[in-house]
Structure formats: structure tokens, C-alpha cells
Chain A
């Protein structure tokens, strides 16, 4: 079974440009999470999808970030326009519904390293 995949693995862009990151969750996983790690700091939650709906987007830093999950399969995270402070590693994770009252383990992708110059 394929794990969570992310594309691209690395992206280097100029300040002011647009970048779109993609995440393909494990097939059948309804939950999809985005996290970000700025260099040297903790990994921070950005948002959570259940199927195609945004369940929690409390961690999105500002309106330059737009996440979508059309059809409840893969997700994209667009940064427009990118700023220097957006540099970091963006992780995606997915989980399935484990059943009522049970924890849904998250499986992480390898991340996309974004560098904004």
C-alpha cells in the first residue's frame, strides 16, 4: 500500500511568486492534515480536512495560504504571494476513521521543503 506522497520534494521560489504544494493521502483516508516546520522550530498544525470539508483551519497563518481538497482525495496548499517567512518544510498527514472513540493514527508524508528567496 502506498504511503502519503507529497510533491514537489523541494521548491525554491522568489519572494512574491506563487507556489502550490500537493499531497496525496493514503487511499481511503478521510482525514488530511497539513503541518509546517519553520527552521529550528516546532512542527505546527495548519489545517485539517475531513473528506473535502475544512474541519479546522485555525493554524493557517494568513490569507496568503489557500488549501483545497476537491473531491476529498488529494489536497493542494497554495501560497500566494510567497514571503521569506514562509520558508520551511510542509508536511501532510492522513488518517482513516478508526471507529467511535478510537484514535485515528496519522501517517506522514516526507514533506516539501520550500525556500523563498
Chain B
């Protein structure tokens, strides 16, 4: 079984400040890990993914995440927040060995607010 915990359902940061959204996972098999973003009235958009290659993953819009197996974490960061980053962010995990049924297990989401 797999699970994801996102610490902080709401996070506020000032424009230009560091963004850090936390994600911890639990998985009995090698995981694939993802961050998705949902802007208002839109679908989920993939920000970045870890699929057992480099542990530091770079995504779109300046975001990156680091897979730390020892800490079972996959925290999302961005050095400098922009107003357009305001959205809801979801961390997800899938079974990295189960090609053909890559159903995702999501966290409860973190709503990011950017303070001007």
C-alpha cells in the first residue's frame, strides 16, 4: 500500500520568497513520485516527476524537488515565488514497478497563497 502526507493544507509566502511545500510518502515498493498543480477552473498539470533517475528533479515554472529515500520525502521548492504560483499543489505516488497500471495515490493538497 502507498500513502502520501502533505504537511500544511495552506501555505502563504511573500512574492520573491522561497517556496517550500512538504511531501512525505510511504511505499512498500520503489516509488515514482509526482507534483501536480491545479490552477482555478483547470485540470491537474504535471509539474515534475521522479522516476528513479536523478534524485534532484527540475520541473516547469522554476520548481524543483529532491527525492530523499532515507527521509521518505519529496519536497517541492522554488527559490523565488511569483504571483502566478498561487494555486493548489498535490503530491502523488505510484508503484514504480507496475507499468501498465500507474494509478496515483495523492496527498490532500496544499493551497499556496502569494502575498504581494
Contact = CB atoms under 8 A, between A and B. Distances in A.
A35 to B, nearest CB: 8
Contacts, number: 63
Interface stretch (B13-21, B45-53, B58-66, B76-84): B45-53
Contacts of A45: 103-105
B101 interface: yes
Interface string A28-46: 0001010100001111110
Given A4-B43, A103-B51, A55 B100 contact: yes
A40 B88 CA distance: 12
The interface size bin for chain B is 20 to 34
Interface in A59-117: 59, 91, 93, 95, 100-111
A90 B115 CA distance: 31
Nearest to B105: A45
B102 A41 contact: no
- Which of A43, A44, A95 is packed against the most chain B CB atoms within 10 Å? A43
Contacts of A19: none
B56 interface: no
B102 A40 contact: no
Contacts of B43: 3-4, 91, 108-111
A41 B99 contact: no
B42 interface: yes
Contacts of A43: 44, 90, 92, 104, 106, 109
Nearest to A6: B43
Interface of B: 4, 32, 36, 41-46, 49, 51, 90, 92, 96, 99-109
Given A56-B103, A102-B99, 11 more contacts: A35-B106, A42-B106, A42-B108, A43-B90, A43-B109, A45-B103, A56-B101, A103-B51, A104-B100, A106-B46, A108-B45
Interface of A: 3-4, 31, 33, 35, 40-45, 48, 50, 55-56, 59, 91, 93, 95, 100-111
